[in-house]
Chains A and B, each alone.
Chain A
Amino acid sequence: MKKSGIRLSVFSLILALLLVGFTIAATGRNPVSVYGAILAGSFGSVKGFLNVLAYMLPLVMTGLGAAVAFQSGVFNIGGEGQVLVGGLASVIVGLLVPFPAPWGYLAAMTAGFLAGAVWAVLPTLIAGRNLASLSVATIMMNSIAELLTEYIVKQFFQREGASNTETVVVNDGCILPRFFPSTQFNYGIFVAVISVLLVTWLLYKTPFGFSLRAMGNNPRAMEQAGVPIYRRTLAAMFISGGLFALGGSIQCLAVYKRFVMGFSPGYGWDGITVATLAANSPAGVLLSAFLFGMLRSASINMSLTNQVTTEMISVLQGLIVILVASPMVWTTMRNLLDAAKGRVSLLFQKKAEVDVK
């Protein structure tokens, strides 16, 4: 099952690249040089590469959040709301807590994690693990989070004289440091790597993680085996929501150093894509988040150099999502391939028979 997942992802990626390549060619550009420019932008300079890593960071966290939920068979699509709530909780702690450097941002991120976790557990408490109910409940929590964070910022933390909805800068000790001021790449990388390792360990090396994954594969069987499904669901949502939220915390504490309305261009939604492309494997999330970081960086480079409209990058992302989410394309292609193979081998057989005669 896992192997087919990875094959599907690779296949989807290649097919998407080909299709977008044709589209770029249709607009009169050379797709190879466009893809070349994407790679050059990402690997051509140290700063470019660090930017890709920076754009990757929130996606690693949200991708992990989605992966944990999906492996447990829990449909958490409230990621965007958890990102916002996590970001705001971190910033509020960052504004109020006067701790020095490591403790300040650690406290702020912990608050972010907990806020996101609670934000994910709330809808689960009322909706249970029923797929439809939980999807609807978590989606609704997204809208609530969006308006609630806006309200809280405007009501209590609005920066005087700002023309948009944003707080003032958090206390020095709560700023998650950047490695170099000129790129957004920051200490969040430690959080991301540690999270990947922890989630891998949790899912694959502990009985608890095993029960989560087993629940994802067959909840009824697990229930029969005496695993408390409801509690495991809550636990999965808790971890997933917390991871999503850390994506928001990192962006707020390191990149903006404050809460800015609209800081997330949909990290919560992209996390679902990242996890799906990674076949829900934590290590794979790192790779697919890197790929999406590359695309984001490419989109910025393209608008700087006016090479190709940046919408092409959105098309590419969208196609990857559609193809990964449409396994029938893969199945059909494989069946066609098998049929073709069968016909060829039949031909060879016939030829062999003729030869024998």
Chain B
Amino acid sequence: MKKCTNVRRTLALLMVVAMCAVLAGCGKEQKPAEDSSLGEAAAAKIAVVFASSGLGDKSFNDALYSGMEEAKSEMGIEWVYSEPKDDAEYEGLISGYADGGEYDLIICLGGSQSSSLENVAPNYPEQNFVILDAVVGGDNIRSYTWRDEELGFLAGILGAGLSASNTLGFIGAHDIPLCNLGAAGMIAGAHYVNPDCEVLVDYANGWAEVNGCYEIATSMNEQGASLIYHTASAGGLGILNAGREKGFLTVFFDGNLNGDAPDTNIASAIRDFPACAKEAVQDLIDGSFTAGSIVKGIAEDGVYLDFEGSAYEIPADVMNMYNEAVEAIKSGSLVVPATVDEAKTWSAS
């Protein structure tokens, strides 16, 4: 009796699958092959796999999107993209684009794609890849990373220059080397202006801890921090809001949100994702695309502080110090330390 029901159960499920198949079989031929109207003329075909945080984040996904749209109109490329729902989709998407062999370049956004790209890239030696914000080795991969410590340095200069309390705050997403680049830079920058300036450092322990960052920023402000900088990813929105509501200064990281708190957010730290993507595309068109790791800093115009949209007036003497430091970093006479331990004993020589 039991055997009988088991067989019937299995049969029933099989029939469902079969029915689906029949249903689908009735349909017309699917997938009208690619619109080739543009395909012939396109200078290059690019595929982009966004980070699973998705478009609409006002931060790096959106920045890359607009960069690719610019590349489309300026260089006449054609580009397609996909927005993964979760991190487990990365590998399928990257290898899916590589399978067809029709894309000249596949751009992967975000460090969380690094292990997936590492799995896929060796299987497609002829395919070029670019990964933004992580270093992945391979003969066909170009990696872009940024000197986040230089941005922290500039934020530290502004903070120390403007501070009456001689106390600043820094919030990282996690206590990991990548997030601490910003902390190291900020400590060094603060000491560059005023050796007695203290930087409070804390971590949100999450990439999108908006509420957590709000709380940490508020309590830092109560401890005297007059300006708070961060590398807390999406959590930075909480710091921005706390600054606007409690009236302390902030520098936002990754994307220009000066307009959201024009009176308290004095600048936004920008890592130029779109420029790197465009550079890679241009190199590809010119035939000069090479694999390897590229690090962008102030000298390469890869990172900068964006003041546009902020209504806060920075005094001229602070701006002078800031501009001096930018020039010194550009010329190579000033090298910003990349770890907190170095930063604590660092002094500009």
Contacts and interface: CB of A to CB of B under 8 A. Distances in A.
A156 to B, nearest CB: 13
A262 B93 contact: no
Contacts of B114: 162-164, 166
Contacts of B345: none
Interface stretch (B77-85, B183-191, B244-252): B77-85
Given A154-B176, A164-B112, A304-B82, A2 B9 contact: yes
Interface in B22-40: 23-28, 30-31
Contact of B28 (A30, A283, A301, A306): A30
Interface string A1-27: 011001101100110010000000000
> Counting chain B CB atoms within 10 Å of each CB, which of A184, A279, A304 scores highest?
A304
A33 B9 contact: no
A6 B178 contact: no
A304 B28 CA distance: 20
Interface stretch (B10-18, B161-169, B253-261): B10-18
Contacts of A301: 96
B97 interface: yes
Contact of B88 (A35, A263, A288): A263
A258 B115 contact: yes
B134 A162 contact: yes
Contacts of A130: none
Interface residues of A, number: 66
Nearest to A264: B88
B135 interface: yes
B91 A306 contact: no
A300 B24 contact: no
Contacts of B16: 10, 13-14
Nearest to A21: B23
A332 interface: no
A334 to B, nearest CB: 16
A164 B131 CA distance: 14
A355 interface: no
A154 B89 contact: no
A314 B96 CA distance: 20
> Counting chain A CB atoms within 10 Å of each CB, which of B9, B80, B176 scores highest?
B9
A51 B93 CA distance: 12
Contacts of A299: 85, 89
A341 to B, nearest CB: 21
Interface in A283-319: 283-284, 287-288, 291, 297, 299-301, 303-307, 310, 314
B177 interface: yes
Interface residues of B, number: 59
A40 interface: yes
B25 A284 contact: no
B92 A306 contact: no
A301 B118 CA distance: 21
A30 B32 CA distance: 13
Nearest to A160: B177
Contacts of A204: 2
A182 B119 CA distance: 8
B4 to A, nearest CB: 10
A207 interface: no
Contact of B25 (A34, A36, A255, A304): A36
A32 interface: yes
A182 B8 contact: no
A165 B174 contact: yes
A300 B20 contact: no
Contact of B82 (A17, A279, A303): A303
Contacts of B23: 32, 35
B115 A256 contact: yes
B96 A304 contact: yes
Nearest to A2: B5
B95 interface: yes
Contact of B111 (A164, A181, A255, A256): A164
A256 B6 CA distance: 36
A260 interface: yes
A33 B23 CA distance: 9
Contacts of B87: 260, 262-263, 265
A14 B15 CA distance: 11
Contacts of B324: none
Contacts of A139: none
Contacts of B110: 163-164
Given A304-B82, A304-B97, A40 B92 contact: no
Interface string A254-271: 011110101111100000
Given A2-B9, A51-B92, A265-B88, A163 B27 contact: no
A284 B9 contact: yes
A321 interface: no
A164 to B, nearest CB: 4
A33 B96 contact: no
Given A6-B12, A160-B177, A260-B87, 8 more contacts: A10-B12, A30-B28, A36-B27, A162-B114, A262-B86, A266-B86, A304-B93, A304-B96
15 contacts: A3-B8, A9-B13, A33-B28, A35-B27, A36-B27, A40-B31, A161-B135, A164-B112, A165-B176, A258-B115, A263-B88, A287-B14, A288-B13, A303-B89, A304-B96
Interface of B: 2, 5-6, 8-10, 12-17, 19-21, 23-28, 30-31, 52, 80, 82-89, 91-93, 95-97, 99, 110-112, 114-116, 119-120, 122-123, 133-135, 174-178, 205
| A-B CB proximity, top 6 nearest | A163-B111, A265-B86, A32-B27, A303-B82, A36-B24, A36-B27
Interface of A: 2-3, 6-7, 9-10, 13-14, 17, 30, 32-40, 47, 51, 55, 150, 154, 158, 160-166, 181-184, 204, 251, 255-258, 260, 262-266, 279, 281, 283-284, 287-288, 291, 297, 299-301, 303-307, 310, 314
